[in-house]
Structure 1
């Protein structure tokens, strides 16, 4: 367990979900942020640079429209700045106002060091960055950002920060926010992948079957056994608003926290579309 993770779990133990926002702000104001990786996610960078079939790079807009990205629970904004370097107009959203202040400071520091987020090969213009302190489940942040839907949504240490009771709502919201265009992509860096769904958090456990069940039928409760496993996820019929999993990938590199002691990568990356 990462340093500070037990203190985080103790803070959330028995805490009603409506009080989670103030708890996250408390963690940020006390600098207890064991989820921060101090840089962007290697699997996301690798996908964006090596899979043009999944992620055609913004090259001056698509039919006059700039392509957009969202990172909910963005923290210090490392992945937001990465997406901007690939040409996306990127929105970093966090419930904690202190996190957004630190994200802005991170952006200023990056602007003074061009080596941190160099413009990706083939990209002609860095995307705009917008920081919003707000609630993922409310449309208020969309009005503030001036965006209705997103071409890419990147989820890392966000869905795992939500208890199981909120995850059907998370899935419905993801379906709503993801662009219905053929190139719309939800990318999930699954962490802590394989941790039992019945164990305490955050981070609460995730696994591939859970995501498949949730996103196939957004908004619906999913059946779990006593160990937190999801039986028959691959046989669940997808609803009209359900997302389709395009890829389930073992990344070639990831954050240290996603690598077991023997060097095995435990993280998985799943890519979804309408």
Structure 2
């Protein structure tokens, strides 16, 4: 069994225990805590920014100048995406529900300009709503079961400012996949398109060459 498969299996076991206890997110803290002790791996830690995020900036160089603009990353994980945004000049906020995840990312990036916070997607600070020019949602919503999907989707899209961009990055749902099986609980096409509400309009969905990952772009109308 590969290390990636083993990490995925461990994450699935922790998620199952968390859901059985009534929480869709408690397993994140358990996973990061175990990873910090060397007893687990974080399966979504690629060691670099997500390639579909880097590709988007390469394809849209006008977006790669963040000076004077704000960005936010829900579910910060190891911090690679948020550090990329900060390096481009975005005034970047990144948060995670797992305190240990934030402790680890702060330890890894001692001089980071990113504002790292412990926060719950389902209890966002009021000041964050409609406050960000760029929202990067990379595999966070798909890491939670479908019974909280509508609330998670609403929370993510609420972060985008007028004229702002929301990028949603995730794994392509295989044909005939059991929708109850996860994590990850990958999004259906309809669930991806559901981010396009409250003034956010879908600009397009791009899939990588292997057909494994997608990036959906949404833009909110200016007032």
Q: Which of the five TM-score ranges fits, normalised by the shorter chain?
A: 0.7 to 0.9
Displacement, 1:98?
Answer: 0.6
Higher strand share: 2
CA contact (8 A) 1:194 1:206 kept: no
Displacement, 1:56?
Answer: 5.9
Q: Does 1:267 align with 2:216?
A: no
Displacement, 1:2?
Answer: 2.7
CA distance in 2, matches of 1:160, 1:17: 19
Aligned to 2:28: 24
CA distance in 2, matches of 1:17, 1:94: 20
Name the TM-score, length of structure 2 as normaliser. 0.83
Q: 5+ unaligned residues in a row in structure 1: which ranges?
A: 62-66, 112-126, 218-240, 253-263
Classify 1:272/1:16 alpha carbon distance in 2 versus 1 (closer, same or farther; 3 Å): farther
Deviation beyond 6 Å, 4+ runs, structure 1:
none
Displacement, 1:80?
Answer: 0.3
Aligned to 2:206: 249
Q: Does 1:12 align with 2:21?
A: no
Aligned to 1:103: 105
Classify 1:131/1:200 alpha carbon distance in 2 versus 1 (closer, same or farther; 3 Å): same
Q: Does 1:57 align with 2:59?
A: no
Q: Does 1:178 align with 2:160?
A: yes
* Aligned ranges 1:112-261 → 2 under 5 Å: 128-140=113-125, 149-181=131-163, 184-194=164-174, 196=177, 198-212=179-193, 214-217=194-197, 241-251=198-208
Q: 5+ unaligned residues in a row in structure 2: which ranges?
A: none
Count of residues in correspondence between the two structures: 210
CA contact (8 A) 2:141 2:153 kept: no
CA contact (8 A) 2:207 2:215 kept: yes
Deviates more, 1:33-42 or 1:76-85: 33-42
* Aligned ranges 1:57-96 → 2 under 5 Å: 57-59=65-67, 61=68, 67-96=69-98
CA contact (8 A) 1:11 1:23 kept: yes
Query: CA RMSD, aligned part only?
Result: 2.5
Higher-Rg member (1/2):
1
Aligned to 1:117: none
CA contact (8 A) 1:190 1:207 kept: no
